[in-house]
Amino acid sequence: MPTKLLFVCLGNICRSPSAENIMNHLIAQRALGDKIVCDSAGTSSYHVGSSPDRRMNAAAQRQGVTLVGQSRQLTAADLETFDLVLAMDQSNYQDILSLDRSHRYTRKIKLMCDYCRRHSDKEVPDPYYGGEAGFDYVIDLLIDACEGLLAEIKA
């Protein structure tokens, strides 16, 4: 059975689809498609059905990754389905924990930045209301975290 990863942010149009698509890119490069599968979701319903943000996709494409997918909202059932649920920031982390009313899944829920090896950030900043540099920074941070996470899963 493959390890199932779920990346979670607020809107599921910027950070978590970037994490999902970057991870899928690394998985394809390393032929690990039968070992790891990825999805993403948002804690909010604000953008359900929307494609990834255009500015986020432009930043991803500058690093050779195209963002595909459609926003969906996180559900309590996701906590059962996935092996690891990766929150982009503390607010996402708390929102995910509050869906886990039985406190059964606490050990599956992690902060994405815990896997960074080059950056010391504790959270992936929300780029939505900022400029282009913020989107490029998110991609750089997520490449770092995805590489670290992949190394940990393989170990």
15 binds ligand 4NP (CB under 6 A): yes
DSSP letter at 111? E
Residues 6+ apart with CB under 8 A from 45: 73
Which range of residues in 5-13, 59-67, 77-85, 98-106 is near ligand 4NP by CB under 6 A? 5-13
User: What single DSSP character describes residue 33?
Assistant: T
Structure tokens at 114: 């815990």
Q: Is 9 in the site for ligand 4NP (CB under 6 A)?
A: yes
What residues are annotated to the active site? Answer: 9, 15, 126
C-beta closer to ligand 4NP: residue 20 or 26: 20
59 part of the interface to ligand 4NP, by CB under 6 A: no
- Dihedral angle of Cα 2, 150, 72, 87, to the nearest 10 degrees: 120
Residue 98, C-beta contacts closer than 8 angstroms, at least 6 positions apart: none
Using the rule CB under 6 A, give the single segment among 8-16, 22-30, 108-116, 141-149 that binds ligand 4NP.
8-16
Q: Does 12 contact ligand 4NP by CB under 6 A? A: yes
Give the residues lining the site for ligand 4NP (CB under 6 A). Answer: 9-15, 46, 126, 128
